[in-house]
Amino acid sequence: MLEKAKAGDKARRGSKTKVRVRVAEDGRIRVRPDTLATEEPMEIRLITGGERQTVAVTMRTPGADFELAAGFLYGEGILSSPEEIEKISYCVDADVDAGQKYNIVNVELRGGRDYDLRSLDRHFYTTSACGVCGKASLEQLELRGCPVIPSGPEVPVETIYALPEKLREAQGLFEATGGLHAAALFDREGNLIALREDVGRHNATDKLIGWALLEGRLPLSENIVMVSGRSSFEILQKCLTAGVPMVCAISAPSSLAVDVAREFNMTLVGFLRGNRFNVYSGYERIRA
């Protein structure tokens, strides 16, 4: 169906870049090799009814590009199911520079129906760091018909305490580069189901939700999403559209992230480090 996205989306460009650096230590200079997280632009093109339109350009770490495109479009309300996708592919047009063809992803949709792309205007260019940058609002989510998350499941505090270490142990690219964020999906018992890495938190989340969409796992109503770093409006928005009841983060949430969690009955955990965390919303899902 999807030109089997899993087969076609094998990190065509490396996720790691080798460099040589000079290290100053104890008054001495030495040269050694180093590994960096690759950061390159990716253009998402939507093809429907014979029309082709660029809907976003994001700075990302190559790898899981098809999941990133699918997750982004799902989070923005353009897609509602994987059946709407006819094909996801890299752009191989003759007029595209050979060095850039794996930085352009075409998402071809079934049928010729019109799609409301106004919600994508703010995304035409997004950085790996901030994404929405506060331009979206709770009203937009309500107008899109995002449902309030139902009650449950309950998760013991001990299960939540263990999530950061499990996430860290599974971060293979971070281990090599020290420069990547991660978004991980856990079940209610704290078992790791999937993890995606990227230079941007929101990209990692898109890759994770895109994987769940293409695998037919949505909604994620019995799962926990854990993100490295802080939780922003955009992270909560993406998790809300995927039906995630609990979002945990290593660092602080933004005020708008807390607003989204409270408005839509999501559990939001921040500063999850060791045997301590803060609960900003939805404390009834946590069993002491």
pLDDT, position 115 = 67
Query: 279 in a domain, yes or no?
Result: yes
Higher pLDDT, 265 or 94: 265
Domain of 267?
155-287
Query: 256 in a domain, yes or no?
Result: yes
Instruction: Quote the DSSP letter at residue 18.
Output: E
**pTM of the predicted structure, to 2 decimals:** 0.87
What residues pair up with 35 in beta bridges, in sequence order?
18
For residue 275, what is the domain's CATH number?
A: 3.40.140.10
Distance of CA 26 to the CA centre of its chain: 40
Whether residue 69 has pLDDT greater than 50: yes
Query: 225 in a domain, yes or no?
Result: yes
Query: 17 in a domain, yes or no?
Result: no
Whole-angstrom distance, CA of residue 105 vs CA of residue 197: 18
Whether residue 16 has pLDDT greater than 70: yes
Q: E-strand spans in 125-222?
A: 125-126, 155-156, 181-187, 192-198
Whole-angstrom distance, CA of residue 198 vs CA of residue 179: 9
Q: How confident is the model at residue 209 (pLDDT cuts 50, 70, 90)?
A: very high
Query: 255 in a domain, yes or no?
Result: yes
Whole-angstrom distance, CA of residue 162 vs CA of residue 148: 27
Query: 85 in a domain, yes or no?
Result: no
Q: What is the pLDDT of residues 167-205, one digit of tens each?
A: 999 987 666 666 688 999 999 999 999 999 998 889 999
| Residues 6 or more apart whose Cβ sits within 8 Å of residue 174 | 168, 180, 182, 197
- Average model confidence (pLDDT) for the chain? 85
Query: 107 in a domain, yes or no?
Result: no
Catalytic residues, by residue number, are 130
Query: 141 in a domain, yes or no?
Result: no
pLDDT, position 179 = 66
Q: How many residues does the chain have?
A: 288
Share of the chain above pLDDT 70, in %: 81
Q: What is the pLDDT of residues 132-159, one digit of tens each?
A: 434 345 667 765 778 899 998 999 999 9
Provide the domain count of the chain.
1
